[in-house]
């Protein structure tokens, strides 16, 4: 594909494609690693009328209809909404909880194994295992998010205040247009991990000198043990995504709208199908934030079993990286799609949660098993990218290719198996999760370097893995 690339400096490239401009934030090495397909997919996305802005973060890679790592923006007045630029796992995102523990408290592998086993007692990791919270009304959760949870499941106010949003408001009348059986399949999944790249990880922090003041304001210290959680809206979001893929495709056919990629679906924001999707999408966001909350609730119970009943896990932050939300930019309301992209607001921004108004909120960036994750903080310059940064390392190769190219021995070496610093996992055999090995992902340090070099965000802490719990 012919394309003209303009360099704006600071890891910011503007790629001229047939149907519009694509902004890419990456260092030279990462920029050179993108395959032609990612630009082809961008050009297909830019065929959607009246696009205001589109960009890739450095972790961008091929997805269904749209690359993961995309930010795409339309005006609320005359723009479009695309379930393909949201993704099927609506509301998928990250949550981090802190502890008072130091890494030396988990240095003994026997302690970490007990903790893994305890977490598995409280957080179902098997797809066929039901939630421990059947007493929670699913419909209360999808209507009201964290505010729909019984008080007994909210350990303290931080668990609701230290989040990107505790409730996503929408017109509940639209729940009458839910897919058949969605309640049946989603019931019993609250507080369950899910498979694929979802995880619970025990980590310890390394804080750079220049970030000490912000880290201290966030209650962080060097060597501190934290818990990072990655999960989404489970069957609720999946069934909505699948159902509305079909509905959008039928609507586009009826309107005579075509695109070279049949998996790229979209509709005017003001259309019936667009409005229905947006309202129901909010119900999935409510399920997702509540699901991560209940996973964290189970993790805290596990820590109490191992370290004592008084153990607390204060919430640091919870955020999403798959959604489309109305936001105000350039003095007008816009619909900002983020598919595998994290919002990172700077200090003082009016959309920060109250607890982070002055400092800016933590942006939670996972790596992969065997590599570091990061806590970052947005910069004012991030406005140029609608405050979007990466959502993780990003896959370097498909699951199938990973299984063909990476050996279990290589996986074991990356996990430091047999050493005192071994990163423990909850699977007896690494072969069963080979497609999630570190070698399946890009170099997270290079991804974060790209973001820092683009002046979109700064590193506040590096999170080093000690143990990982994966779903099956």
126 is in an annotated binding site: no
Count of Cβ atoms closer than 10 Å to residue 221 Cβ: 15
Percentage of the chain with pLDDT > 90? 87
Whether 432 has a binding-site annotation, put simply, is no
Q: Is 63 annotated as a binding residue?
A: no
Evaluate whether 380 touches 346 at the Cβ level (below 8 Å).
yes
89 is in an annotated binding site: yes
Residue 368 annotated as binding? yes
Polymer length in residues for the chain: 472
pLDDT at 1 over 70: no
Tell me the C-alpha distance between 285 and 142, whole Å.
8
Whether residue 317 is predicted with pLDDT greater than 90 in this model: the reply is: yes
383: alpha, beta or left, given left = phi > 0 and alpha = psi -120 to 50?
alpha
Per-residue confidence band for 345, with pLDDT thresholds at 50, 70 and 90? very high
**∠ CA 150-155-157 to the nearest 5 degrees?**
90
Q: Which residues are catalytic?
A: 391
pLDDT of residue 2: 62
Q: How far is CA 196 from CA 89, 234, 386, 399, in A?
A: 11, 11, 29, 10
Regarding pTM above 0.75, the answer is yes
CB 91 within 8 A of CB 323: yes
- For the chain, give the mean pLDDT: 95
- Per-residue pLDDT for 37 more than 80? yes
- pLDDT of the residue at 471: 84
Residue 393 assigned as binding residue: yes
What is the H or E stretch that residue 268 is in?
A: strand 267-268
Integer angstrom CA distances of residue 112 from 96, 193, 421, 423, 427 = 18, 19, 11, 9, 14
Is 10 labeled as ligand-binding?
no
For residues 25, 402, 201 and 96, what is the CA-based torsion angle, rounded to 10 degrees?
30
Residue 172 is assigned to a ligand binding site:
no
Higher pLDDT, 456 or 126: 456
Q: Is 465 annotated as a binding residue?
A: no
Which CA distances in Å does 30 have to 284, 340, 376?
33, 17, 20
Question: 108: Cβ–Cβ under 8 A, 6 or more apart, which residues?
Answer: none
pLDDT category at 83 given cuts 50, 70, 90 is very high
pLDDT of residue 417: 92
Measure the CA–CA gap between 164 and 284, rounded to whole angstroms: 15
Axis-axis angle for helices 234-255, 272-307 (nearest 10):
170
Helix, strand counts (H, E) of the chain: 12, 19
- 4-396+441-470 maps to which CATH number? 3.90.1860.10
> 459: which 2 tokens?
């590193």
**pLDDT band, very low/low/confident/very high, at 432 (cuts 50, 70, 90):** confident
Residue-wise pLDDT tens digits, 135-155? 999 999 999 999 999 999 999
Q: Is 33 annotated as a binding residue?
A: no
CA distance 270 to 88: 21
Q: Which pLDDT belongs to residue 398? A: 87
How far apart CA 266 and CA 277 sit, in angstroms, is 10
Q: Please tell me which residue, 278 or 179, carries the higher pLDDT value.
A: 278
Query: What's the pLDDT score for residue 4?
Result: 81
Name the β-bridge partners of 4: 16
pLDDT of 162-213, one tens digit each? 999 999 999 999 999 998 899 888 888 999 999 888 999 999 999 999 999 9
Tell me the domain boundaries of the chain: 4-396+441-470
Q: Which residues make beta-bridge pairs with 145? A: none
**For the ranges 79-88, 97-106, 182-191, which has the lowest average pLDDT?**
182-191
Q: What is the DSSP letter of 395?
A: B
For residue 431, pLDDT beyond 80: yes
Element (H, E) at 159: helix 158-161
Is 102 flagged in the annotation as binding?
no
Phi, psi at 435, each rounded to 5°: -70, -5
Question: Token pair 């999170």 is at which residue?
Answer: 463
Torsion of CA 8, 11, 15, 20, to 10 degrees: -80
d(CA 386, CA 330): 10
Confidence of residue 116 (pLDDT cuts 50, 70, 90): very high
CB neighbours (10 Å) of residue 262? 10
Distance CA 382, CA 246 (A): 35
- pLDDT tens-place string over residues 346-358: 999 999 999 999 9
Q: Is 470 marked as a binding-site residue?
A: yes
Taking the C-alpha atoms of residue 17 and residue 22, their distance in angstroms, rounded to an integer, is 7
% of the chain exceeding 70 in pLDDT:
99
The reply to whether 197 sits in an annotated binding site is yes
Residue-wise pLDDT for 6-32, tens only, equals 999 999 999 999 999 999 999 999 999
- Determine the straight-line distance between the first and last CA of the chain, rounded to whole angstroms: 39
Tokens of 72: 């795409």
* Model pLDDT, residue 130: 79
| pLDDT tens track for 288-298 | 999 999 999 99
Cβ-in-10-Å burial (0-12, 13-18, 19+) of 267 comes to buried
Is 324 in a helix, a strand, or coil? strand
């Amino acid at each position: 594909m012919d394309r003209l690339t303009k360099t704006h400096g600071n890891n910011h490239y503007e790629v001229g494609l047939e149907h519009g401009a694509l902004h890419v934030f990456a260092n030279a090495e990462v920029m050179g690693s993108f395959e032609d397909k990612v630009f082809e997919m961008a050009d297909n996305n830019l065929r959607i009328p009246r696009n205001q802005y589109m960009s890739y973060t450095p972790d961008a890679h091929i997805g269904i209809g749209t690359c993961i790592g995309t930010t795409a923006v339309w005006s609320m007045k005359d723009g479009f909404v695309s379930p393909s630029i949201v993704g099927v796992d609506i509301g998928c995102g990250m949550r981090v909880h802190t502890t008072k523990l130091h890494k030396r408290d988990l240095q003994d592998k026997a302690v970490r194994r007990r903790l893994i086993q305890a977490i598995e007692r409280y957080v179902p990791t098997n797809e066929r295992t039901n939630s421990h919270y059947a007493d929670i009304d699913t419909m209360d959760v999808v209507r009201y998010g964290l505010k729909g949870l019984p008080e007994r499941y909210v350990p303290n106010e931080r668990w609701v205040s230290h989040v990107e949003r505790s409730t996503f408001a929408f017109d509940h009348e639209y729940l009458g247009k839910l897919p058949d059986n969605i309640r049946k399949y989603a019931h019993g999944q609250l507080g369950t991990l899910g498979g694929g790249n979802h995880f619970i990880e025990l980590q310890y922090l390394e804080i750079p000198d220049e970030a000490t003041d912000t880290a201290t304001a966030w209650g962080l210290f060097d060597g501190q043990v934290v818990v990072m959680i990655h999960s989404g809206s489970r069957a609720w979001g999946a069934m909505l995504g699948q159902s509305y893929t079909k509905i959008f495709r039928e609507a586009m056919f009826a309107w005579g709208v075509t695109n070279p990629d049949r998996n790229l679906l979209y509709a005017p924001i003001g259309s019936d199908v667009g409005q229905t999707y947006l309202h129901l999408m909010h119900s999935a966001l409510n399920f997702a934030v509540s699901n991560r909350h209940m996973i964290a609730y189970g993790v805290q119970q596990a820590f109490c079993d191992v370290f004592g009943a008084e153990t607390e896990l204060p919430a640091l932050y919870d955020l999403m990286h798959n959604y489309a939300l109305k936001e105000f930019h350039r003095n007008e309301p816009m619909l900002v799609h983020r598919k595998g992209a994290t919002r990172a607001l700077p200090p003082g921004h009016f959309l920060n949660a109250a607890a982070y108004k002055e400092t800016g909120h933590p942006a939670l960036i996972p790596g992969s098993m065997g590599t570091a994750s990061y806590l970052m903080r947005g910069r004012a310059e991030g406005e140029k990218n609608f405050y979007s940064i990466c959502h993780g390392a990003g896959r370097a190769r498909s699951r199938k290719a990973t299984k063909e190219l990476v050996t279990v021995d290589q996986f074991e070496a990356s996990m430091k198996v047999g050493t005192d610093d071994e990163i423990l996992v909850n699977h007896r055999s690494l072969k069963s999760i080979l497609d999630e090995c570190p070698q399946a992902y890009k170099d997270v340090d290079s991804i974060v370097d790209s973001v820092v070099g683009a002046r979109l965000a700064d590193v506040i802490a590096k999170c080093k893995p000690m143990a990982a719990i994966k779903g099956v």
